[in-house]
Amino acid sequence: MDDPEARLRDTLDSLASTVVPSPDAYARARTEWQRRDRRRRLVMLALAVLIVAVADVVGLWALHSLAEPDRTPRHERIDVIVQP
């Protein structure tokens, strides 16, 4: 009986000898990785800007809603007494 590891090694060696590597495989993989990294960074930037914008809008809305309403000017006569 043959050793299973030896048979597997022989099979993988014969398979590896038939594989022809692509000359630009590294360049394509690197370009793809850079594209994905750039996209990830842009998505994170967009999310950060969106979160800050939403926080600003909510904060401004809260400040506006908690502020005292402007009092309408009364049309009553106000006497000012000035002492000499």
In a domain, 74, yes or no: no
In a domain, 41, yes or no: yes
Mean pLDDT of the chain: 89
In a domain, 35, yes or no: yes
Q: Is the pLDDT of residue 58 over 70?
A: yes
Q: Look up residue 11 and give its two tokens.
A: 């099979």
d(CA 22, CA 49): 41
In a domain, 31, yes or no: yes
In a domain, 29, yes or no: yes
d(CA 2, CA 4): 6
- Give the model's pLDDT for residue 21: 83
pTM: 0.54
Q: Is the pLDDT of residue 68 over 60?
A: yes
What is the pLDDT averaged over residues 71-82? 72
